[in-house]
């Protein structure tokens, strides 16, 4: 059935009837998007929004980009999936390995959660050890290991991981260590004590909306190298967003492995694990041998339609001034947000990089999970509600900026910032 024949009310009722919580588990149940174009989306009721959700990040160059749509249309005429190598997947592998400094080989998955799971599994296979060190508040998808200390409600004792979901086996706790982000002394102490049992370290180089302190990533790289530990950057969010070569290019620190996703699928389900040939050889039966071979199979891994969309997206990002426009858009938005709050007398911190940022209602520096978590949540909720009312859509806790934003989009958003600041100041 065509979605246009269903009313807003009817679709929401069907969602409540057939979906747990009335949603896919992503953005709010009351939001039903039917169309996106450029930097805007429209809901089933006809309301238009400047879009900072971007499908949770993939639509970096905007919705319905003509080059992506045309490339996908051509591929559809040749087939949608084969469970075998295809030209688009091979060419996308080449493009990613040429772009990301650490990438010598890549294996594709359909989601970032799969990619980070295989990153941890590959480090375990390579090192012959079980424990993985991650960072408090770091997001690595929905696999069991990643859901340790993603959003703890209480502080743990030292390195003790806290499960963030029911249904995770108790034994998972024993395989994970947790460190505070941006605290190199604490990480060093943990690694010095546990390096013999560690398989590796996984980190978001830019954790959610928190930039690394000067020297943190460099120190982490030196520490892991000193103990022979693989270092994995989760670049599902930052890959091809912070720079064409991702956060590792942007910050100038090269890991051993990286995960990619979101942007590389061009709006279709595609992600992957890339890295040094020595570690990626675990996925090659001939190179690893029967005992060392790491099986990785996925029905849609390297899907040709998704790979085609990804190739077209990367082609747009290589053209001209895409990154200059992206960062200029972000700087104008960050400046406008800071000015709106300052003029209204609202205490807040704007944190992140121009391509991905957020506001935290606090006067304290934003350096780790708890400095974000301790922000004023009531003010944050009021801020989000006013923005939505004024036609600005974003995800919980971040603004994804796109290349496709126009001057009108940015001015409209800054006007919403000013309205939100005034509303918060009144309470």
DSSP 56-69: TTT-TT-BT-HHHH
Give the Cα separation of 272 and 141 in Å (integer): 13
- Identify the CA nearest to 356 among candidates 376, 336, 326: 326
Of the candidates 258, 292, 317, which is a domain's last residue? 317
Give the Cα separation of 25 and 162 in Å (integer): 22
Instruction: From the candidates 51, 234, 358, 384, give the one annotated as an active-site residue.
Output: 234
Residues 52 and 197 in one domain: no
pTM: 0.95
Give the Cα separation of 281 and 21 in Å (integer): 43
Residues 183 and 250 in one domain: yes
Of the candidates 317, 346, 374, which is a domain's last residue? 317
Instruction: From the candidates 49, 118, 139, 400, give the one annotated as an active-site residue.
Output: 139
Tell me which residue has tokens 């060419």.
Answer: 91
Residues 356 and 395 in one domain: yes
Query: Which residues face 231 on adjacent strands?
Result: 201
Q: Is 234 a catalytic residue?
A: yes
Q: Are 215 and 253 in contact (CB under 8 A)?
A: no
Q: How many separate domains does the chain show?
A: 2
Residues 275 and 301 in one domain: yes
Instruction: From the candidates 262, 379, 398, 409, give the one annotated as an active-site residue.
Output: 262
H or E element in which residue 274 lies: strand 271-275
Query: Which residues face 40 on adjacent strands?
Result: 37, 50
Q: Are 276 and 254 in contact (CB under 8 A)?
A: no
Domain boundaries, position 171: 66-317
Q: What tokens does 146 get?
A: 């990643």
User: Could you tell me which residues come within 8 angstroms of residue 94 by beta carbon, excluding any fewer than 6 positions away?
Assistant: none
Residues 46 and 94 in one domain: no
Query: Which residues face 108 on adjacent strands?
Result: 272
pLDDT for res 157? 59
Of the candidates 267, 291, 317, which is a domain's last residue? 317
Report helix, strand or coil for 78.
coil
Pairing of strands 399-400, 356-360: antiparallel
Taking 50 as the pLDDT cut, the residues of the chain under it are: 1, 3
Q: Are 31 and 38 in contact (CB under 8 A)?
A: no
Q: Are 265 and 226 in contact (CB under 8 A)?
A: no
């Amino acid at each position: 059935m065509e979605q246009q024949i269903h009313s807003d009310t009817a679709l929401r009722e069907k969602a409540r009837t057939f979906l747990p919580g009335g949603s896919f588990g992503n953005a709010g149940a009351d939001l039903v998007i039917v169309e996106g174009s450029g930097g805007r989306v429209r809901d089933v009721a006809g309301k238009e929004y400047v879009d900072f959700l971007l499908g949770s990040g993939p639509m970096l160059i905007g919705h319905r980009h003509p080059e992506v749509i045309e490339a996908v249309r051509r591929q559809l005429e040749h087939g949608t999936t084969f469970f075998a190598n295809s030209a688009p997947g091979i060419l996308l592998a080449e493009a990613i390995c040429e772009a990301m400094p650490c990438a010598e080989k890549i294996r594709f998955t359909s989601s970032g959660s799969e990619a980070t799971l295989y990153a941890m599994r590959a480090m375990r296979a390579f090192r012959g050890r079980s424990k993985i060190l991650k960072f408090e508040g770091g997001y690595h998808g929905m696999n069991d290991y990643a859901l340790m200390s993603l959003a703890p409600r209480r502080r743990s004792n030292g390195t003790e991981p806290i499960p963030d979901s029911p249904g995770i086996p108790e034994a998972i706790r024993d395989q994970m260590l947790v460190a505070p982000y941006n605290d190199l002394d604490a990480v060093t102490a943990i690694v010095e004590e546990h390096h013999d049992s560690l398989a590796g370290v996984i980190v978001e180089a830019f954790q959610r909306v928190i930039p690394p302190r000067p020297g943190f990533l460099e120190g982490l790289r030196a520490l892991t190298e000193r103990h022979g530990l693989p270092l994995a950057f989760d670049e599902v969010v930052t890959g091809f967003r912070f720079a064409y070569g991702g956060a590792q290019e942007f910050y100038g620190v090269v890991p051993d492995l990286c995960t990619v996703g979101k942007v590389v699928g061009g709006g279709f389900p595609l992600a992957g694990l890339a890295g040094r040939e020595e570690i990626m050889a675990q996925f090659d039966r001939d190179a690893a041998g029967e005992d060392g071979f790491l099986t990785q199979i996925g029905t849609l891994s390297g899907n040709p339609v998704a790979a085609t969309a990804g190739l077209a997206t990367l082609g747009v990002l290589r053209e001209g001034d895409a990154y200059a426009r992206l960062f200029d858009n972000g700087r104008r938005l960050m400046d406008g947000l800071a000015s709106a709050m300052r003029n209204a007398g609202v205490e807040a911190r704007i944190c992140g990089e121009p391509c991905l940022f957020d506001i935290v209602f606090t006067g304290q520096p934003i350096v780790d999970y708890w400095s974000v978590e301790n922000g004023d949540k009531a003010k944050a909720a009021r801020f989000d509600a006013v923005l939505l009312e004024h036609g600005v859509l974003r995800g919980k806790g971040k603004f994804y900026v796109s290349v496709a934003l126009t001057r009108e989009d940015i001015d409209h958003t800054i006007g919403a910032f000013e309205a939100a600041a005034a509303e918060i100041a009144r309470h």
